[in-house]
Amino acid sequence: MQVFFSEDHRRHFPQAELSAGEFVTPYERPSRVENILARLKLRQFTQIEAPGPADMAAIARLCAPDYLQFLETAWDEWKAAGCAGEIIAATFPARRMQMSRPPRNIDGKVGYYALANETAITGGTWVAALSSAASAQAATRHVIGGARAAFALCRPPGHHATADMYGGYCFINNAALAAEQLRASGAARVAILDIDFHHGNGTQDIFYHRDDIFFASLHGAPEDAFPYFLGFADETGAGRGEGTTLNLPMLPGTPYSVWCQALKQAIAAITAFGADALIVSLGVDTYKDDPISFFRLDSPDYLDIGQRIAAMGLPTVFCMEGGYAIEAVGVNTVNVLEGFLDA
């Protein structure tokens, strides 16, 4: 399986994340990719290449122009305002506040475009986010060209990013980019299967009113897990998109036996939808020892997941999302890919 990955991911490495009332080293950090790469090479995934530059026109079609301008210029504005540290949102528009006018002040802008304040922006974030998007685009081109599957080792991840907001470590929605790229190439119907522990709120938001892209997400119940305010089972799409969103939230302590039943349900729904191609938002933070999640999957389970995805028989693009048990992230990620290839 061809793997696409950019060294520019290293340019995004915030030094702090606000977690449980204190600043900690971010859970989403470069060593995640290093461990995945090491495992890929150990398991003889030798086709690893850089993606080339991002297709900015495609990104501009997906994201709001003002949001992209913010991402590109935020660091310079922050520094010009005399701010010494990294960019972290300090205030947000809340219920009954004015939300239609972005502030001029950079501190206000950050809160306007942020979903949450665990995600910092650094001097290298914009370049890293573009390189992550480029990896997804390159993997998708490879599949459009006739490959059975490809793996975009994206960092930063993407599924929490909407067309005009960042958060959950995400800035540009890589899975959404891939889906639009497949549609533009001639795929009449595309499915996105999000198996990350956290709900793909950004992906759902982007496609909620669409009937040509099906979104299925298996995730921690939003009453208990980030992003908290989206991902309930009664969210099924709206307008033309009614019925093309499937949310399968699960409770703390969910074992693989229960999680797998949800996967079967999602696969059945995607099959009924009649998808021509598949995007997998590949998060492995469902692992039993993940520090910010609460499912109980074990490493061998990821082989089975890959096999079940392969049995769908669809051209498949894997986009890396979460997985924060650093020592296990490589094994679990590659197990999905090997299970897929061995099916």
CATH of the domain at 197: 3.40.800.20
Report yes or no: 35 and 144 within 8 Å, Cβ to Cβ.
no
169 pLDDT above the threshold of 90: yes
pTM higher than the cut 0.75: yes
- Domain of residue 31: give its range: 2-63+126-342
| 118 is a domain residue | no
Q: What is the predicted pLDDT for the residue at 213?
A: 98
Q: Report percent pLDDT > 90 for the chain.
A: 98
201 pLDDT above the threshold of 90: yes
Mean pLDDT of 107-121: 96
99 pLDDT above the threshold of 90: no
Q: What is the predicted pLDDT for the residue at 74?
A: 98
Q: pLDDT tens digits, residue range 213-242?
A: 999 999 999 999 999 999 999 999 999 999
Classify residue 44 as exposed, middle or buried by CB count within 10 Å of its CB (0-12, 13-18, 19+).
Answer: exposed
Cα dihedral 227/229/232/237 (nearest 10)? -100
Mean pLDDT of 21-45: 97
Report yes or no: 231 and 199 within 8 Å, Cβ to Cβ.
yes
Q: What is the predicted pLDDT for the residue at 6?
A: 98
| 56 is a domain residue | yes
Residues acting as catalytic residues: 160
100 pLDDT above the threshold of 90: no
The two three-digit tokens of residue 77, written as one number: 């504005």
Mean pLDDT of 320-334: 98
41 pLDDT above the threshold of 90: yes
| 26 is a domain residue | yes
What percent of the residues of the chain are helix, what percent strand, and what percent coil, each to the nearest 5? 40, 15, 45
Separation of alpha carbons 261 and 328, rounded Å: 24
Separation of alpha carbons 236 and 215, rounded Å: 9
DSSP 3-state of 318: strand
| 218 is a domain residue | yes
Mean pLDDT of 233-252: 98
Phi, psi of 317 (to 5 degrees): -110, 120
38 pLDDT above the threshold of 90: yes
- The structural domain count of the chain equals 1
Mean pLDDT of 299-312: 98
| 8 is a domain residue | yes
Q: How confident is the model at residue 257 (pLDDT cuts 50, 70, 90)?
A: very high
| 104 is a domain residue | no
What value does the mean pLDDT of the chain take?
97
| 81 is a domain residue | no
Per the listing, tokens 């996967």 go with: 263
Q: Pairing state of beta strands 2-4 and 149-152?
A: parallel
Mean pLDDT of 87-109: 94
Q: What is the predicted pLDDT for the residue at 258?
A: 98
Q: What is the predicted pLDDT for the residue at 14?
A: 97
Q: Report percent pLDDT > 70 for the chain.
A: 100
| 178 is a domain residue | yes
Mean pLDDT of 271-286: 98
* Beta-carbon count within 10 A of 224 CB: 12
